[in-house]
A and B are shown apart, each in its own frame.
Chain A
Amino acid sequence: MAVLLTRKARVVVQGITGHQGTFHTRAMLDFGTKVVAGVTPGKAGSKVEGVPVFDGVREAIRRRKANASVIFVPAPYAKDAAIEAIEAGLKLIVVITERIPFHDCLDVIPYARSKGCAMIGPNCPGIITPGESKMGIMPSHIFRPGDVGVISRSGTLTYEIVNAMTQAGFGQSTCVGIGGDPIIGTNTVEALALFQRDRKTKRIVVVGEIGGTAEEEAAEFIAKEVSKPVVAYVAGRTAPPGKRMGHAGAIIQAGKGTAESKVRAFADAGVPVAEYPADVAKLLAAT
């Protein structure tokens, strides 16, 4: 078992003919992901990396039995692509696209949830279950199969932390990059609930950052509902208030969303918080 993504996933890549879509289709295939179809309107009949391309998601499902979608289409078209995938009946969609207006996500996310579809992202590196499958852009070689579930709002920072974990002998059950936007499909608490239920996951790492109250809510949830050991890291301890630190969601507003508040919330919930990214692996060793 793992969360959300296993080797059973038959993945359709929406936006497969774009530069990113093509590049990461290759990387996903190399990792062992069953990429069974691509979708780019108007490009039906062509192939990308040997993967057949269709005009729409319904066709990809009918012809290739796709059951999950990873979306690379540009921001102005991402809402359309996501709703098409949800309407076609897919239950897992991973939205890699960054800079999607959040009002589009206010429409898409509740809709996905109402249809029982799990959406990851947007503005995220995707999801990877080492040894099984990857839907996204994470560098495969730093991951190893293992029992640590990883939840992160960030991309490269996660690679840094995962790399240190792997080197220290801590493999990952699944790593979920939930995304750096203010409005995301699967939030920290929801990902924690999945890992708590997953039998393969023995420990959990949460990589948070400034902005919003996801970490505070996660801490509260951990104290009540999570029996597995959790270790955290919070980025942005030195970030000034009022500045958006690269991610749309990473901003301290009206005194809310500070790293201090998040670190305190985790500490109060008994979750050790690493000072240095590399310390996450050390704290795991102590769990």
Chain B
Amino acid sequence: MKFLEYKAKEIFARYDIPVPRGIVAGRPEDIADPPLPCIVKAQVLVGGRGKAGGIRPASNLEEARTVAGEILGMDIHGYRVRQVYLEERLDIEKELYLGLTIDRSAREPLLMASALGGVDIESVPREDIFMEHIPAMVGLQPYVLRALSGALGLPKDVIEQVADIVRKAYALFRKEDAELVEVNPLVVTREGRVVAGDAKLVVDDNAEYRHAEYAALDQDRTPLEEEAHDKGITFIQLNGDIGVIANGAGLTMATLDVLNLKGGKGGTFLDLGGTDDPEKVKQAFEILLKAQPSVILLNIFGGITKADTVALGVKQALESMGSRVPVVARIKGVNEDAARQILREIGTHPAETIEEATELAVKVRAGGA
């Protein structure tokens, strides 16, 4: 789950990480008392806001409202701006970079810092980025902060503030189940204060159960994806028009890949998981049908999944929705003969292998079967 900047800064403030003063607004007329002069920042879950014109200065209330009005409703890389954050303009002396993420290979958190902040970290030369693994078992030790201080080459009073922020950011990273905490830029002001200019926070979806407030976050999902999520269905909308539903993430991906090799384009990624509960299958199919696919391609390879109850769920969904969308079904699993019988009765196109099923789906779509 990704946090909008202002939400991330709320969390930062909770951990006592210095952030600029700011207010959030959804309409220009709601802006009453912004910190002036200010920066008006589009709140979207995507990078590159600045270049897209989503971050602009304002000197007085009137200007702040005008600028906010222009930014609100903008489309930034496919994301509509629904909120702006008006933040005190910092008197910038220097911009640093600070990031905490996980290194999947090392299986440890990774601390990154650079004196060259304010730009895309990917563009900073490797030797100018301080990197250190923090073994979660032992936590952040003072030597790491000493090494960091040496590497960044900053005045003592500044580096002390940076080290303090790193300590707090690491506590946040661990306690909030974060997969990314990024401050870019971490601003050093002319008065020598160190403040989080921007804030990126991404947390682990799987940890939602221990952070009740995360459930209320706006997510990067289409309305249909949101509906599926609420029902506990793993569902992603894609660019194509063939509705793909399979069991297991790897098999669903592979089905989409094979479909592509056969000249078709998947419109959905729907992973049924290990379920063979007809009610859950029905719910999944209802979501799938709402995506308005031209053809549905069902691919189940169930070692222990009951194929007949999956077929029953398919039948119930198609009947209850009065759907005329053709279905190509390949089902392997327990009681697969009974499943084939049910699927034949409701007029689906049977297939034996992924290759056959995907070819057939492409043919049915073209009206050739």
Instruction: Let me know if B249 and A160 touch, CB within 8 A.
Output: no
9 contacts between A and B (CB under 8 A): A109-B107, A154-B248, A182-B104, A217-B105, A238-B253, A238-B259, A239-B256, A242-B220, A245-B253
Given A182-B104, A246-B253, A159 and B301 touching (CB < 8 A)?
A: yes
Instruction: Let me know if B234 and A246 touch, CB within 8 A.
Output: yes
Question: Contact check: which of B136, B209, B304 meets A107 at CB < 8 Å?
Answer: B136
Interface string of A135-150 (1 = CB under 8 A from B): 0011101100000000
When distances are taken between beta carbons in the complex, the residues of chain B under 8 Å from A182 are: 102, 104, 179
A106 to B101, CA, bound (A): 12
Instruction: Let me know if A243 and B236 touch, CB within 8 A.
Output: yes
A248 to B204, CA, bound (A): 9
Question: Is A103 an interface residue, CB under 8 A from the partner?
Answer: yes
List 6 other contacts, CB 8 Å, given A156-B301, A275-B261: A102-B204, A159-B301, A163-B301, A243-B236, A246-B250, A278-B355
Question: Contact check: which of B174, B304, B354 meets A160 at CB < 8 Å?
Answer: B354
Instruction: Let me know if B104 and A103 touch, CB within 8 A.
Output: no
Shortest beta-carbon distance from A107 to chain B in Å: 6
Instruction: Let me know if B253 and A102 touch, CB within 8 A.
Output: no
Instruction: Let me know if B107 and A183 touch, CB within 8 A.
Output: yes
Shortest beta-carbon distance from A111 to chain B in Å: 6
When distances are taken between beta carbons in the complex, the residues of chain A under 8 Å from B136 are: 103, 106-107, 110
A250 to B257, CA, bound (A): 14
Shortest beta-carbon distance from B274 to chain A in Å: 8
When distances are taken between beta carbons in the complex, the residues of chain A under 8 Å from B269 are: 239, 243, 245-246
A154 to B250, CA, bound (A): 5
When distances are taken between beta carbons in the complex, the residues of chain B under 8 Å from A277 are: 254, 258, 354
A246 to B271, CA, bound (A): 7
Interface string of B69-87 (1 = CB under 8 A from A): 0000000000000000000
Question: Is B302 an interface residue, CB under 8 A from the partner?
Answer: yes
Instruction: Let me know if B249 and A245 touch, CB within 8 A.
Output: yes
Instruction: Let me know if B250 and A106 touch, CB within 8 A.
Output: no
Instruction: Let me know if B179 and A102 touch, CB within 8 A.
Output: yes
Instruction: Let me know if B122 and A154 touch, CB within 8 A.
Output: no
When distances are taken between beta carbons in the complex, the residues of chain B under 8 Å from A250 are: 249, 253
Interface centre among B239, B253, B353 (most CB of A within 10 A): B253
Shortest beta-carbon distance from A85 to chain B in Å: 17
Instruction: Let me know if B204 and A157 touch, CB within 8 A.
Output: no
Question: Is B260 an interface residue, CB under 8 A from the partner?
Answer: yes
Instruction: Let me know if A235 and B257 touch, CB within 8 A.
Output: yes
Instruction: Let me know if A187 and B105 touch, CB within 8 A.
Output: yes
Which residues 301-335 of B have a CB within 8 angstroms of A? 301-304, 332
Which residues 35-50 of B have a CB within 8 angstroms of A? none
When distances are taken between beta carbons in the complex, the residues of chain B under 8 Å from A142 are: 303
Pairs of residues from A and B, 9 with the lowest C-beta to C-beta distance, nearest first: A139-B303, A154-B250, A246-B249, A156-B248, A157-B250, A101-B207, A106-B136, A156-B251, A235-B253
Shortest beta-carbon distance from A165 to chain B in Å: 14
Interface string of B235-246 (1 = CB under 8 A from A): 010110000001
Which residues 81-127 of A have a CB within 8 angstroms of B? 99-103, 105-107, 109-111, 114
Question: Is A210 an interface residue, CB under 8 A from the partner?
Answer: yes
Question: Is B137 an interface residue, CB under 8 A from the partner?
Answer: yes
Instruction: Let me know if B254 and A157 touch, CB within 8 A.
Output: yes
When distances are taken between beta carbons in the complex, the residues of chain B under 8 Å from A235 are: 250, 253-254, 257
Question: Is B135 an interface residue, CB under 8 A from the partner?
Answer: yes
Question: Is A158 an interface residue, CB under 8 A from the partner?
Answer: yes
Instruction: Let me know if A245 and B252 touch, CB within 8 A.
Output: yes
Which residue on chain A has the smallest CB distance to residue B334? A139
When distances are taken between beta carbons in the complex, the residues of chain B under 8 Å from A107 are: 136-137
Given A103-B204, A139-B303, A183-B102, A158 and B260 touching (CB < 8 A)?
A: no
Instruction: Let me know if A160 and B254 touch, CB within 8 A.
Output: yes
Question: Is B247 an interface residue, CB under 8 A from the partner?
Answer: yes
Which residues 117-173 of B have a CB within 8 angstroms of A? 122, 135-137
Which residues 170-212 of B have a CB within 8 angstroms of A? 174, 177, 179, 204-207, 209-210
A110 to B209, CA, bound (A): 24
Interface centre among B238, B259, B301, B354 (most CB of A within 10 A): B301
